[in-house]
Amino acid sequence: MTVDFIDLSNQLERVHNHRLAFRPAVLADAWPLYQATRNPLFNTHLMWPQPNEETEVLRRMEAITGAVRMGRMAAMSVVLKTTGEWVSLFRFQPHAMNSKLVEMGIWTLDKFWHGRYSLELTRICIDAAFELSDIDTLVGAAAAENRSSCRLMTAVGMQPTKVVKRITEMGTEVQLQEFEIERHEWSSRVRQSLSFDMFLPDGPVRESVPALPQLSSGGDVERQMEQASFA
């Protein structure tokens, strides 16, 4: 299956919910992303090192936006609807080892590690990926020690599958736990309650559902998910 990432990007920029809105990722997003990397915890489990200067992040964002223009991935920045403040950047791209699968990754500014933003955003990403494209299987990956991201993916309905080895940009080998959710699993869970609105010229497609998935372990799980960033 070949995903039309350009079409997916064009649709994703119309997505929003009660407090967040999506917009295309741009080069200027390098500055808030650089600020996110100032917190050492942000980079702890990522595949790239903490940058020493803004130019390094500008080059990274230039590579991302270039790949989007060529249809090799979809990348969106997430902002607050009330102010436009940058919250997060997420990507959909071909799986690193199986091009038939689509992998997602999320980077979130530490200011928004609280308030269930990561949980809310990840749920929207999954709903939007399946609702707006022909993606059959969505994959996320995180180190087993990155318990916040592992718990986050489990909370939104993704199931652990296999442990894989990958090489980081630093040249070191790491083991990552992969999580998957398939279209039929998502369909049985979401029913008619999508987590987002979508603006079209003739009005919104449907109303979003602010309610989030119930967490069986209560507040402790939510606190452990606050620092979630993966891929």
**Closest listed residue to residue 230, CA positions, set 107, 94, 103:** 107
- Cα radius of gyration rounded to whole Å, the chain: 16
pLDDT of residue 216: 37
End-to-end Cα distance, the chain: 22
> With 60 as the cut, is the pLDDT of residue 220 above it?
no
Reported as a single tens digit per residue, the pLDDT across 11-27 is 999 999 999 999 999 99
Q: Could you say which DSSP state residue 230 is in?
A: B
pLDDT of residue 212: 42
> With 80 as the cut, is the pLDDT of residue 145 above it?
yes
What does pLDDT average to over the chain?
A: 87
pLDDT of residue 32: 97
Residue 93 β-bridge partners: 103
Instruction: Name all domains of the chain by residue range, CATH numbers in brackets.
Output: 5-136+186-191 (3.40.630.30)
Reported as a single tens digit per residue, the pLDDT across 47-60 is 899 999 999 999 99
pLDDT of residue 90: 96
* Percent of the chain clearing pLDDT 70 (strictly above): 86
Residue 215 pLDDT grade (very low, low, confident, very high; cuts 50, 70, 90): very low
pLDDT of residue 218: 39
For strand 86-94 and strand 74-80, is the pairing parallel, antiparallel, or unpaired? antiparallel
Cα separation of 95 and 99, whole Å? Answer: 5
* Mean pLDDT score, 78-84: 97
Q: Are 118 and 109 in contact (CB under 8 A)?
A: no
* Percent of the chain clearing pLDDT 90 (strictly above): 73
pLDDT of residue 225: 43
Write down the pTM of the prediction.
0.85
